[in-house]
A and B are shown apart, each in its own frame.
Chain A
Amino acid sequence: MNAYKEENATPLEYQTEENQMTIVGFWIFLAAEMALFGTLFATYAVLFGRTAEAPPPAELFTAGTTLIMTLLLLTSSFTSGIAIHEMRRGAQKGMMTWLIITLVLGLSFLGFEIYEFYHYATLGATLTSSAYWSAFFVLAGTHGVHVTFGIGWLILLLIQLKQRGITQVTSRKIFVLGLYWHFLDVIWIFIFTGVYLIGMVI
């Protein structure tokens, strides 16, 4: 197994300078992602209520589905954190197990989102039906695309981990993916609050 033994030693993914730079670079990417989602939230907020002929959000949003999606994503964020913890203990099997649980939760979230979009479309709210619904689908859809990308990334990394085990390179990749996954959940908190809860209140 790996050289990483003590709790207080520098984690494997930070041990080379290149890895440290990669991780800092990823934080810069996440800051840029915040700006991207900021523009989408701003568009959504400005276009709120401009539903034209389409049904208003309060008629379509349901508390049950929204809460299930939120809890699925929140739990997957938690399990990916546990996977990083297992990785730092050098426990490859535990890490793989938690990553697969994360993957399943992510896929369930995505399934609910696809069902939700399809359901809205059958009720007359699509990307083209009004300014409000365009903003909604672009905001929630961009988040959904990020989750889809994260799932693909995770599957590829699981294959690589199976082949190579926990090394300096793979541990850095998993750590960065973990950051990405947590970040998606942070964005979702604001979609849950700003889009779904506000949409059901007003």
Chain B
Amino acid sequence: MANQSKNIPVKHIIGYVTSVVLTLVAAWAALGSNLPVMWIIISIFALAILQAVIQLFLFMHLTERGMGHAPWNMMFHGAVVFAILIAGSLFTMSFGFM
């Protein structure tokens, strides 16, 4: 029974390889490309969010049975709080809404 599935699970390999690729693409976009700064910022944050979502689903068993929707709810609301905190702080403190 210990040997029934010796292989490393495909999900984890896909998650790992895409994460490495996304990291390298983000590093290239930031350091190697000649895109305008605004485009670099938008694209690397899009890549970061994509990578976080991939890891949540492929590594963290976010949709695993046995716990209902609790993990998904926690991560979704955590992400909303996270986004509001940062966007709100920047909006009030850095972009002249004084």
A contact residues around B40 at 8 Å (CB)? 201
Q: Is the interface of B mostly helix, strand, loop or mixed?
A: helix
A21 to B12, CA, bound (A): 26
Instruction: Report, as a range, how many residues of chain A touch the other chain.
Output: 35 or more
Q: Is A169 an interface residue (CB 8 A)?
A: no
Q: Which of B19-62 contact A (CB under 8 A)?
A: 19-20, 23, 26-27, 30-31, 37, 40-41, 44-45, 47-48, 51-52, 55-56, 59-60
CB of A138, distance to nearest CB on chain B (Å): 15
Is the beta-carbon distance between B48 and A189 smaller than 8 angstroms?
Answer: yes
Total contacting residues, chain B, CB less than 8 A: 49
Query: A71–B78 contact, CB under 8 A?
Result: no
Which of B16, B26, B81, B82 is packed against the most chain A CB atoms within 10 Å?
B82
A182 nearest CB across to chain B (Å)? 5
Contacts of A71 in B (CB 8 A): 20, 23
Given A85-B9, A197-B27; A35-B81 close (CB under 8 Å): yes
Q: How far is the CA of A186 from the CA of B66 in the complex (A)?
A: 23
In the bound complex, how far is the Cα of B91 from the Cα of A42, in angstroms? 10
Asked if B98 is an interface residue, CB under 8 A from chain A, the answer is no
* B60 near A183: Cβ-Cβ < 8 Å: yes
Report A-chain residues with C-beta under 8 Å of the C-beta of B67: 14, 20, 23-24, 27
Chain A, interface SS category: helix
**A193–B47 CB distance below 8 A:** yes
A121-156 toward B: CB 8 Å interface, digit per residue (1/0)?
000000000000000000000000000000000000
Cβ-based interface call for A173 (8 A) = no
**Which of B23, B40, B66, B78 has most chain A Cβ within 10 Å?**
B78
Q: Does A34 contact B (CB under 8 A)?
A: yes
Cβ-neighbour of B81 out of A1, A5, A34, A48 (below 8 A): A34
Judge whether A38 is part of the interface by a CB distance below 8 angstroms.
Answer: yes
Contact check, B26 vs A193: say whether CB atoms are below 8 A apart. Answer: yes
CB distance from A168 to the nearest CB of B (A): 13
Question: B31 CB to closest chain A CB, in angstroms?
Answer: 6
A-B contact pairs, 11 of them (CB 8 A): A7-B5, A30-B74, A31-B74, A31-B75, A42-B86, A67-B23, A190-B52, A193-B26, A193-B48, A201-B30, A201-B41
4 tightest A-B CB contacts, nearest first = A34-B78, A31-B78, A42-B89, A38-B85
